[in-house]
Amino acid sequence: MNSVLFYTAARLGIFVATLGVLALFGARGFLLLLLALLISGIVSFVLLSGQRDRMSAAVVSGVRDRRRKFEKARAKEDA
């Protein structure tokens, strides 16, 4: 769960930084948001690839644990 929060915070930080830089260069309104979203997405795709892999592994592990608990509870109910 820690890796999910870190990745989300890093993505948000990159977006806000990109938003600030573009605002300094004169972008405004909808164009500012659109460009910031596009550029920060590309930057985070490159810079956060390792963190994204760790987050993905944590999410998959969590889903497997919940599925295992669900199957165990369902088997117990059926018995």
Q: Find, among 40, 43, 45, 44, the residue nearest to 16 by Cα.
A: 40
**According to the model, what pLDDT value does residue 78 have?**
75
**According to the model, what pLDDT value does residue 52 have?**
93
Read off the pTM: 0.77
Q: Domain extents for the chain? A: 2-78
**According to the model, what pLDDT value does residue 51 have?**
93
For 54-77, letters b (16+ CB in 10 Å) and e give: ebeeeeeeeeeeeeeeeeeeeeee
Q: List, for the chain, all residue ranges whose pLDDT scores fall below the cut of 50.
A: none
**According to the model, what pLDDT value does residue 74 have?**
86
